Amino acid sequence: MSRLDLLDAAYHFFAAEDGSRDHYTMVVFDSPIGDAPAVRDIVDHVHARARSVPELNRRIARVPFDLDFPHWVADDSEFDARVVRHDMSGRTWADMEDLLGQLKESPLDAAEQAWRLHVVHGLADAPRTVGAPTVVIVQVTHALTAGVGAGQLARALFAPPEPTPALPGHGDPTSTRTLSARAVGAACALPVRTIRYVVLAARARRAFRRSPEVGIDGVPVEAVRGNDDPTQRRVVHVLTFDSGLLRRPGLSVTTLGLTALGLANARFLAEFGEQIPSTFNARVPIAMPDDVDWPAANRVVTTGVALFTDEPDLRRRAESIRESLADGRRRATGDTLLRWARAENLVPAPLFLAAQRRRRARRVPTGTTVGANTIMVSVNHGPRDLEVCGARAVFSGDFPMLSEGHSITHGFYGLGDALSVCIVACPNTVPDHERYAEILEQAVIDVAAATG
């Protein structure tokens, strides 16, 4: 359907809260022989592909007076209006990371454009390239899809011809001419919708809190360095590895990545004379299985994962994290939580927006406890067969958003035989972010060695 679900609408309403919440799916291409492709040719290639992807031909329109959640409508704007060219002639990869940080400070307004294409040309170097590098970044509003879907959109633009992905949670866009009538209908239905929501959501909330599915998600933990509220400033660091480094029988990249995060944070805190608490944990997005009825385009929920930082043996630590992650996945996809989520989805837009205004008005800085110490996103972008105008992809990445109480986030992204670890930080609250990236890089190597 064209109407945004509650979760998707929230990403639109608060797209710039705590900085950009957009996806920035990056693909780095290499031209080992000859020159890099011309920017005009890249733009024409993407334009031709994008025409056949329905989700890339729409934008968001709000209902008058926000009496209902927004709707997707057709976007018939000129394609070149969404293209941003970045001439980085003679610049280095360090300059590219600076640019990525600047892009993370510039969110989309999906009422104008739901996605944007950044083409970076002229770079002197890039990781894993031997010739002229080209970097393409597909910036997509989080209201359109989750991280997995953002990767699928990039594949639709650059993979060999294959069936166009049908992103979940989307129907045909509506006409802007219907929005006034929808506002009237929502206003008339508001009393009944409100009563239904209050009754069903309260019942589902009580059932969830009494269930064993709560797990560690509702338990506050001790805050550490990095658990500060970010400003709007962003910096980015990209680490690259061979994907085989973190491939182990019975231990996923996500599990070993979480193990590395725990180790890196312990070492980072130790440099300031601080000890990592035994309760140190991570919040991890969990993709909804295909057979789960879920109304939102963002088919993810998050779960808490214990990182067992007091276990000295890294292999045993990884095995414990694997079990905690599996337990979190069971909780996140449990019937009780899903019933609660569906009940919350019934909230009328005016009630939801009023509640969010009250939340922001009463918001206080993060204190001595948080719901999770760190955040990790893990996405497999598929085989390394992406190509644009003869240039071949060498690795990909994305850059998870910062949020209240989280001034540093991490994304692990696989593309065939390449693995990137993308770190996003707020330099105002994590001034030692460069040192943290160095520590994390070594932690990944040490976890790989200890579990090999």
How many other C-beta atoms can be found within 10 angstroms of the C-beta atom of residue 405? 21
* Pairing verdict, β 374-380 and 408-415: parallel
Q: What local confidence, expressed as pLDDT, does residue 213 receive?
A: 63
Digit-coded pLDDT (tens) for 417-430: 999 999 999 999 99
pLDDT over 90 (residue 41): yes
122 and 238 both lie in a single domain: no
Distance in angstroms (rounded) separating the CA atoms of residues 299 and 227: 26
Q: Is the pLDDT of residue 284 over 80?
A: yes
Residue for token pair 């719901």: 371
Please check whether residues 170 and 255 belong to one and the same domain.
Answer: no
Q: Is residue 307 part of a domain?
A: yes
pLDDT of residue 123: 98
Please tell me whether residues 151 and 246 are part of one structural domain.
no
Number of domains in the chain: 2
Q: What is the mean pLDDT of residues 19-30?
A: 96
Determine the Cα–Cα distance for residues 88 and 95; give it in Å rounded to an integer. Answer: 8
Distance CA 349, CA 189 (A): 12
Same domain flag for 168 and 40: yes
Could you tell me if 295 and 444 lie in one domain?
Answer: yes
Q: Is residue 267 part of a domain?
A: yes
- Of 165, 184, 203, the residue at which a domain comes to its end is 184
Question: Would residue 207 count as lying in a domain?
Answer: no
Contact 118, 124 (CB under 8 A): no
- As to burial, measured by CB atoms within 10 angstroms (0-12 exposed, 13-18 middle, 19+ buried), residue 330 is middle
The pLDDT, as a whole number, for residue 360 is: 86
Give the containing element (helix H, strand E) for 300.
Answer: strand 300-306
Instruction: Tell me which DSSP letter residue 175 carries.
Output: P
Q: Which tokens in the block code for residue 359? A: 């939340």
Domain CATH number, residue 371: 3.30.559.30
Is 250's pLDDT higher than 70? yes
- Alpha carbon separation from 280 to 227, 273, 285 (Å, rounded): 11, 17, 17
Q: Would you say residue 144 has pLDDT above 90?
A: yes
Residue 171 and residue 274 share a domain: no
Task: Say whether pLDDT at 239 is over 90.
Answer: yes
Q: What was the pLDDT predicted at 210?
A: 79
Q: Do 225 and 180 sit in the same domain of this protein? A: no
pLDDT mean over 156-165: 84
pLDDT of residue 361: 87
> Cβ-count burial of 262 within 10 angstroms (0-12 exposed, 13-18 middle, 19+ buried)?
buried
Cβ-count burial 407-428 (b if 16+ within 10 Å, e if not): bbbbbbbbbbebbbbbbbbbbe
295-347, pLDDT tens digit by residue?
A: 899 999 899 999 999 999 999 999 999 999 999 998 888 888 888 888 998 99
Mark which of 136, 169, 184 sits at the end of a domain: 184
Quick: pLDDT tens for 46-77: 999 999 999 999 999 999 999 999 999 999 99
The residues, any chain, with a CB within 8 Å of residue 372's CB and separated by 6 or more, are: 221, 281, 282, 283, 304, 406
Q: Find the length of the chain.
A: 452
Which stretch of 168-172, 215-219, 340-344 has the lowest confidence by average pLDDT? Answer: 215-219
- Tell me the per-residue pLDDT of 356-370, one tens digit each, with 9 for 90 and over: 999 888 888 889 999
Alpha-carbon distance of 68 to 75, in angstroms, equals 20
Amino acid at residue number 178 = T
88 and 137 in a common domain? yes
Do 241 and 316 have their domain in common? yes
* CA pair distance 392, 32, nearest whole angstrom: 9
Query: Which pLDDT does position 52 carry in this prediction?
Result: 92
In which domain, by residue range, is 437 found?
215-375+417-451
- Looking at the domain assignment, is residue 430 inside a domain? yes
Task: Please check whether residues 149 and 241 belong to one and the same domain.
Answer: no
Question: Taking 90 as the threshold, does the pLDDT of residue 208 lie above it?
Answer: no
Within a domain: residue 190?
A: no
Of 408, 386, 406, 404, which Cα lies nearest the Cα of 395?
386
Please check whether residue 236 is in contact with residue 104, taking contact to mean a CB–CB distance below 8 angstroms: yes
Q: Dump the DSSP string for 267-284.
A: HHHHTTT----TT-EEEE
User: Residue 216's pLDDT is what?
Assistant: 59
Structure tokens at 103: 């892009």
- Show the tokens assigned to 47: 């334009």
Residue 217 structure tokens: 């998600």
Task: Read off the pLDDT of residues 109-141 as tens digits, 9 standing for 90 and up.
Answer: 999 999 999 999 999 999 999 999 999 999 999
Does residue 149 sit within a domain? Answer: yes
Say whether pLDDT at 21 is over 90: yes
CATH number, residue 165:
3.30.559.10
Inform me whether the pLDDT recorded for 249 exceeds 90. yes
Residue 203 has pLDDT above 90, yes or no: yes
3-class secondary structure, 343: helix
pLDDT value at residue 215:
60
| 157 and 220 inside one domain | no
Specify the pTM: 0.95
Of the chain, the percentage scoring pLDDT greater than 90 comes to: 85
Please indicate, yes or no, if residue 412 is contained in any of the structural domains.
no
Q: Are residues 14 and 136 in the same domain?
A: yes
| Domain finish residue from 126, 161, 184 | 184
Look-up: residue for tokens 């309403």? 13
Closest CA to 378 of 220, 216, 243: 243
Q: Is 32 exposed, middle or buried (0-12, 13-18, 19+ CB in 10 A)?
A: exposed
| Nearest in space to 32 (alpha carbons), one of 333, 391, 397 | 391
- Our measurement of the distance from residue 330's CA atom to the centroid of its chain's CA atoms, rounded to an integer in Å, reads 21
Whether residue 109 is contained in a domain is answered as yes
